[in-house]
Amino acid sequence: MKKIAILHGPNLDRLGQRQPAIYGSGTLKDLEQMIRAEAKRLGFSVTFFHSAHEGALVDKIHALTDRGIEAFIVNFGAYSHTSIALRDALASAALPAVEVHISDIKKREKFRQHSMTAGACRAMISGHGFPGYIEALQLLATLK
């Protein structure tokens, strides 16, 4: 069974309340339920972590790597566009990772159009809403 960690950054706990025209009306809990169902179908074990604090996310990447996690799905929110520390943490983990963005970052404000952290990931899925996380799980299922 592949063990996958899903990490969420700042403001993702506000899903359902924050800009529903951009992010939809589903909550983080709704998203986690959807991910759990698909993970179970694929035979994956999933764990979730959310923090608005960059260092906590870095620490969690290291801790999960040391505990035998096999892959990551990450949505670092605004940190995706700014954090060399998170990019380095993912790179040092040397595990498959997929970055997901609910909205299409290429159609957002200029400062959101580049992801600093995507370079440490196998793929980035952007603009597919919550189903982007299902795509990420399915992509990870194809990796050896």
Q: Catalytic amino acids?
A: 23, 101
Q: How far apart are the C-alpha atoms of 2 and 42, rounded to whole Å?
A: 9
Return the DSSP state at 113.
S
Helices and strands: H and E segment counts in the chain: 5, 5
134, amino acid identity: I
Measuring CA to CA, how many Å separate 67 from each of 3, 52, 98, 128? 10, 22, 19, 31
For residue 65, what are its two tokens? 């790597």
Residue in the structure block whose two tokens are 């759990």: 36
| Three-state SS at 99 | strand
